[in-house]
């Protein structure tokens, strides 16, 4: 591996969850973007790893299997990334299945809620298409609402309608996700760690409290470089990663046309030096795949 590798992206989504590129299309885009290393981290799903490995050639960019679990417990909401796991490990697969089951339940409940509360009628064919997706989520329902004229844009659909439906205790817990990733031989990482619930932005002390909560469960890293972070925010996360002895990762959160985020836009290229925490992560994760 190059000593100062910066052209990587370890946080992307495909059509297996809420991205708009198939895993195979993502690989093509990764080639065109000139990335040397990438990961696809679909929500509560690891299918993209199998599909990419099936079509990738020996000269393609290096690939790390990834996942992103949407988690919640009494202390807050978290997104936990996992890297370098065995996708066939039964304990890891059990967490994947739980996350998938909860997503399917929520998708059906949201459709029912929108119909009963706001009178939004969804054609049966559209419902079948939506529920046939690997992991339907709020963006899929929001896009359908926009197409049917129930909302002006995806943001309005989610903020003014979909988010009105609340779920109690219908979440993968962070300790559950971290344990599943670890038992699958992977590395658990806190995604975009300065983002809290919704649009909530955390400061350094708040993130420190989060890490004190999650590290005893086995959290091993933080996504210090992220497309939405300023240089000051990156420094806050890097300092806390060093203080807690955590790995460092870098990701854009690319979703294709579902988000205005460019593949490879991680902020890592602006770093004055290559962080030791990222160097250690790349060394250790590559030893597992």
For the chain (289 residues), the mean pLDDT of every run of 10, in chain order, is: 73 94 96 95 93 93 95 94 94 95 94 96 94 88 96 95 90 96 97 87 96 98 96 97 98 91 94 92 91
Model pLDDT, residue 260:
85
Q: Please determine whether the domains at 8-88+174-286 and 97-164 fall in the same fold group of CATH.
A: no
Which residues does 173 contact at the CB level (< 8 Å), separation at least 6? 71, 72, 73
Model pLDDT, residue 289:
79
Model pLDDT, residue 2:
45
Model pLDDT, residue 183:
97
Model pLDDT, residue 130:
92
C-alpha pair distances (Å), 227 with each of 14, 233, 256: 17, 11, 14
For helices 124-131 and 90-118, what crossing angle results, to 10°? 160
Q: Which of 262, 214, 285 is nearest to 64 (CA)?
A: 285
Cα of 26 vs its chain's centroid, Å: 15
- The pTM of the whole model exceeds 0.85: yes
C-alpha pair distances (Å), 230 with each of 36, 106, 214, 261, 268: 24, 34, 24, 15, 11
Task: Determine phi and psi for 165, rounding to 5 degrees.
Answer: -85, 120
Which residues does 28 contact at the CB level (< 8 Å), separation at least 6? none
The third-level CATH classification (topology) of the domain covering 97-164 is DNA polymerase; domain 1 (1.10.150)
Cα dihedral 74, 75, 76, 78, rounded to 10, equals -100
Q: Which residue has the tokens 């009105």?
A: 164
Q: Domain residue spans in the chain? A: 8-88+174-286, 97-164
Model pLDDT, residue 1:
41
- DSSP for 235-283 reads HHHHHHHHHHT-EEEEE--B-GGGSS--TT-SSGGG-SS--HHHHHHHH
Domain range 8-88+174-286, CATH architecture: Alpha-Beta Barrel (3.20)
């Amino acid at each position: 591996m190059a000593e100062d590798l910066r052209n990587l992206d370890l946080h992307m989504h495909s059509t297996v969850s809420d991205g708009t590129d198939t895993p195979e299309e993502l690989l093509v885009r990764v080639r065109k973007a000139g990335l040397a290393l990438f990961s696809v981290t679909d929500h509560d799903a690891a299918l993209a790893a199998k599909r990419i490995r099936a079509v990738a050639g020996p000269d393609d960019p290096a690939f790390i299997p990834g996942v992103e679990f949407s988690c919640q417990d009494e202390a807050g909401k978290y997104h936990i990334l996992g890297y370098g796991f065995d996708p066939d490990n039964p304990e890891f697969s059990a967490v994947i299945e739980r996350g998938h089951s909860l997503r399917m339940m929520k998708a059906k409940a949201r459709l029912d809620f929108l119909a009963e509360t706001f009178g939004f009628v969804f054609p049966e064919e559209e419902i079948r298409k939506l529920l046939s997706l690997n992991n339907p989520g709020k963006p899929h329902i929001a896009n359908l609402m926009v197409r049917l004229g129930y909302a002006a844009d995806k943001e309005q659909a989610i903020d003014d309608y979909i988010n009105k439906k609340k779920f109690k205790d219908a979440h993968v817990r962070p300790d559950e996700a971290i344990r599943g990733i670890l038992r699958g031989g992977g590395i658990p990482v806190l995604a975009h760690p300065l983002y809290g619930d919704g649009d909530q932005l955390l400061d350094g002390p708040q993130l420190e409290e989060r890490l004190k909560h999650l590290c005893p469960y086995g959290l091993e890293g933080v996504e210090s470089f992220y497309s939405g972070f300023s240089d000051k925010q990156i420094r806050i996360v890097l300092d806390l990663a060093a203080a807690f002895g955590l790995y460092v990762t870098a990701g854009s959160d690319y979703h294709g046309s579902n988000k205005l985020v460019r593949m490879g836009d991680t902020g890592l290229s602006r770093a004055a030096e290559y962080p030791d925490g990222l160097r250690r992560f790349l060394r250790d994760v590559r030893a597992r795949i």
